[in-house]
Amino acid sequence: PPRLLELLGQSLRPLELLDLEEESTAGSSSNPVIQELLRAQARFYEALTLGNRELMKEVFVDSPSALVTEVIDAGGRVDNWEMCLEEDARPSGMLVRNEDVFVASSNEAYTTCIEIPTKIEFEGATLLAVQKWTLVDEEWKLALHQTIPWSVESRAGGTLRCDSRGCVALTRSQGRRTFGGMIG
């Protein structure tokens, strides 16, 4: 099957600069499932930006994602959440905009957003993020978080995949794929 996020980052980039001040319309939905998913997404970003390991553990479903496992099985490294949430590693202060929700079924849903890192070395960067959610005991749990650079000016050079174990990164260079630690 096609890797939708990688396809978007490589070939279907935005046609114009994103309006990062524009408020999401998803939050105005009266659908309770959409509201629950947006709250779950907000909890994930709270854990990520504040470095809250306990909250991160609560947000994720306790099972590995096949997309993360395939990178590990091919020799990639997973940076665990303890490492990813350290003071200098986590994206503290990162902004999240243009949140949206797609409910695929009664127990599977996806949220999307644009991530805007605020660290000076990433000034002007934007990332497209997609989260896959699964309903567990009437609570939406995160199964997979993915990001890819999302810009008018350049094609994405890498992608980040995260599950309950932590994050793996794939980067593209000179026609070959390499694995490594967390991007940014």
- pTM for the full predicted model: 0.82
Q: What residue type is assigned to position 143 of the chain?
A: A
Q: What residue type is assigned to position 175 of the chain?
A: G
Q: Would you write out the chain's pLDDT as a tens digit for each of its 184 residues?
A: 456 656 555 555 555 556 656 665 566 778 999 999 999 999 999 999 999 999 999 999 999 999 999 999 999 999 999 999 999 889 898 889 889 999 999 999 999 998 888 875 566 678 889 999 999 999 999 999 999 887 666 655 678 999 999 999 887 655 444 334 433 3
Helix (H) or strand (E) holding 29, with range, is none
* 93 and 118 Cβ atoms separated by less than 8 Å: yes
